[in-house]
């Protein structure tokens, strides 16, 4: 059998019920079976051997099924044979996948030869029962100041990074991989849904250079692939993660870029299937399809799956139905701001919209909670003062308000951070900052300990001690190196 014939496994040679193609509409194929219909979720093969992979989506009548194609349908035509594989689409699992890059069928795409996996699991699996699930109030430290302070991640939880195009979601995912994979004892699994080919290549090379590839699995449903492949690659990644969790008993860090592309591919599939669209054109089954994927991400006895998901927000609108449905499944929400990105405040995390269910005194401790609330209150007060500053100028504020503005602007700059993954572009070496160092730096800024330093001294540093070390260099620039910002406040040039 050819390599393409081996791609899906699951007994492709065992033809159970022959059928024939009735119609091909883009990536939707209707087929007729006279000897009994294959169930929903069954994998079929259509056309000349090895055949185009189809998945049964619905039963139209006692003899017809409607399927979604996971491969291009260019070579299919009416009347061609359709073979029932006898099972669902499966994916190879196990230790043999570590260090490899796969597609939705489990086919290696890294040019390193065949996989050494001996087992295959179906991509559709039920989540653990409530009795089998476990929860733990344990923080997953990232080394990124703004995240560890304002949106601490839950070990075994789900975190989402929301933002429009070009605000830094993928860069932040790359930095999380760099920071967490090296210090992480478990397995890292990267799932690219609707990714560009260039981004997949960059990710693979970055992981190889960071030395974390040998304990990482990468699986992609590329942007140029049919919507059926993009719609199912997330389920394939979950089956791999569940095998490491349930069989190997290893913690899994699952990074998904971009979960919105899963919703988008579902919209394409729904439209091709002829379903009436719901609000803003999304599929009527949006909530159930998203829950089917998200509810499989959880902790079971002995091991956990921790997920960080990039979420594209159409037109920067957080009320978009896709964004609001994804919000409901997350324990931490990291919102990226286009305005902060335009000011050069990277990572462009919005401190007022970013939040985490773990940010309470019983989990992170009383000190962390108090410092985070004080930082958020200071930045919120500064946000309210911006209109007054724009109309009347900073000099018209009271002494207390000017002190608040000074603290807020220094906090904004301290929460920026040079990344390891962007060092080649910025010329700055990356910094990984411990949570205690972040809390210490914010507390000292709130206490006006750095009021004598120019704001720029706190920009793009790691720990707060670096501001004192660089005081002489930054003092030469001084507060004179400023321009008027969009709200009339001063910003670093």
Q: Under 8 Å CB-to-CB from 423, ≥6 apart: which residues?
A: 429, 430
Q: Which of 169, 215, 340, 376 is labelled catalytic?
A: 169
Establish whether 357 is a catalytic residue: no
Q: Which of 175, 195, 225, 455 is labelled catalytic?
A: 195
Number of separate helices (H) and strands (E) present in the chain = 15, 20
Is 436 in a helix, a strand, or coil?
A: helix
Establish whether 196 is a catalytic residue: yes
DSSP 82-149: EEEEEEE-EEEESGGGTT-EE-TTS-B-SSS------EEEES--PPPPTTTB-----EE--S-HHHHH
Q: Which of 119, 133, 196, 301 is labelled catalytic?
A: 196
Sheet holding 158-163, edge to edge: 101-102, 216-222, 187-195, 252-257, 305-312, 158-163, 332-335, 355-356
* Cα angle value 298/314/416 (rounded, 5°): 70
DSSP 274-314: TPPP-GGG--TTHHHHHHHHHTT---BTTB-EEEEEEEE-G
Q: What is each CA distance from 12 to 44, 213, 344, 395, in whole angstroms?
A: 8, 32, 54, 76
- For the annotated catalytic residues, the residue numbers are 169, 195-196
């Amino acid at each position: 059998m050819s390599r393409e014939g081996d791609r899906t496994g699951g007994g492709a040679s065992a033809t159970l019920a022959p059928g024939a193609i009735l119609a091909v509409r883009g990536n939707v194929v209707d087929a007729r079976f006279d000897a009994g219909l294959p169930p929903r979720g069954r994998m079929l093969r259509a056309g000349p051997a090895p055949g185009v992979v189809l998945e049964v989506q619905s039963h139209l009548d006692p003899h017809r099924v409607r399927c979604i194609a996971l491969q291009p349908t260019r070579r299919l035509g009416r009347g061609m044979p359709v073979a029932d594989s006898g099972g669902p689409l499966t994916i190879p699992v196990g230790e043999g996948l570590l260090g490899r890059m796969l597609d939705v069928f489990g086919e290696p795409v890294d040019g390193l030869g065949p996989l050494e996996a001996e087992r295959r699991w179906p991509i559709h699996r039920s989540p653990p029962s409530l009795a089998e699930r476990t929860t733990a109030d344990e923080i997953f430290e990232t080394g990124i100041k703004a995240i560890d302070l304002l949106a601490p991640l839950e070990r075994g939880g789900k975190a989402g990074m929301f933002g429009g195009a070009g605000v830094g979601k993928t860069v932040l995912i790359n930095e999380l991989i760099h920071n967490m994979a090296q210090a992480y004892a478990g397995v890292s699994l990267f799932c690219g849904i609707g990714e560009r080919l260039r981004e997949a290549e960059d990710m693979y090379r970055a992981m190889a250079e960071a030395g974390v590839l040998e304990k990482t699995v990468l699986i992609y449903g590329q942007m140029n692939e049919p919507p059926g492949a993009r719609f199912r690659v997330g389920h394939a990644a979950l089956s791999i993660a569940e095998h490491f969790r349930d069989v190997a008993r290893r913690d899994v860090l699952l990074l998904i870029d971009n979960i919105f592309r899963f919703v988008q591919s579902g919209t394409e599939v729904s439209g091709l299937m002829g379903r009436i669209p719901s609000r803003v054109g999304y599929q009527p089954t949006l909530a159930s399809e998203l829950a089917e994927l998200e509810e499989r991400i959880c902790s079971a006895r002995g091991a956990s799956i921790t997920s960080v998901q990039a979420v594209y927000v159409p037109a920067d609108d957080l009320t978009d139905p896709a964004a609001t449905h994804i919000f409901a499944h997350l324990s931490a929400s990291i919102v990226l701001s286009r305005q902060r990105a335009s000011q050069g405040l990277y990572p462009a995390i919005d401190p007022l919209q970013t939040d985490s269910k773990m940010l309470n005194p019983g989990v992170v401790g009383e000190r962390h909670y108090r410092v985070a609330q004080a930082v958020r209150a200071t930045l919120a007060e500064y946000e309210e003062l911006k209109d007054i500053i724009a109309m009347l100028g900073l000099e018209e504020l009271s002494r207390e308000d000017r002190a608040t503005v000074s603290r807020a602007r220094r906090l904004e700059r301290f929460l920026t951070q040079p990344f390891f993954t962007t060092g080649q572009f910025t010329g700055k070496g990356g910094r990984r900052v411990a949570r205690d160092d972040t809390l210490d730096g914010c507390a000292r800024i709130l206490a006006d300990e750095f009021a004598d330093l120019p704001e720029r001294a706190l920009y793009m540093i790691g720990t707060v001690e670096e501001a004192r070390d660089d005081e002489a260099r930054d003092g030469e620039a001084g507060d004179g190196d400023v321009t008027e910002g969009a709200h009339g406040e001063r910003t670093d040039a």
